[in-house]
Structure 1
């Protein structure tokens, strides 16, 4: 997969994915943001204050790889997170950030391993997400998170922001959306199983399925 060459098609893809995520309850209100990388190196992102349920193709913002606003409406205040992932992962061409309920709930738990928040309960989680580090709490839009996000993204395609939600990169929008949905479902399973003995994949089983770049 290469960066998106057809800007019109990329805009349609963002809006179609946004609408799907919203209508299926994976985000709510004006939370969450999506982006893709174009072949000229610029990024198309959902704008600040927009709802993924109503955003339109003409509403999208464009920034460079350092978050500088190039044209369109003002981008999401978390544009720096998207830019950090793209700089860290050259093979990534889409980034999805949601405040999905179960993943956000896990991000608030005290009893998690910050190096790897969720156990590999299913093979598909191990394949699509892999290890999931928890980044410490920063207020939404706090740019001081950017260096840590970029460093972490060099070795992880997904992170969970404490008291906030997940960010996932993929080679395509479809791959990133599939992975963040798998992450949400695994967070749901994790919460359903709390207090019960579980049998996650062994380290060897999970390593055999671990995702590779992007």
Structure 2
């Protein structure tokens, strides 16, 4: 566990020092929220119609901002051969993977909070009463996203066109995850009828576990190849 905590500290400090991923994610989240909000407001929709568009707007912003940002997460390892150094030092690949997933999840959750606040304010929708539930659902989605993207980012790390290749591989695999997210967010925001026993919530949790298990078992093969 000491090794895992040391890796978490290393990855967190690297992100805080470079600030590249944070700046890109936060800037894109805010910018895309403003653009989508202006487009929705210019359509002169009724309040109920605006609320119905919020789930799609929320996850489109997250998907675009996160996918651009996550490709930067391995730049430090590639530039300084840090990943190879950890492997040569005998560090278990699954610990490196878990550290990446945790740090990516923390950063993405912070970006999602900015998106929630921005869209709520710009679209004049009160999300305060549903905020805790939305954050929990967002956290579950982000865990699955981080688990899959961390594996694929390592896979495409040395590719010449990795910034293009990563989204092409990642986005189709994320379809069931984000379809579940859309349905659950619509239940919370539009229908005001969130059911903890929903099949979509069960699917979301199942996908999280599946992506994490795939990542733990395949990460060693990916980074050593």
TM-score scaled by length of structure 1: 0.29
- Structure with the larger RCO, 1 or 2 (CA within 8 Å, 6+ apart): 2
Structure with a larger share of its residues in strand: 1
Which structure's CA Rg is the greater one? 2
Structure with a larger share of its residues in helix: 2
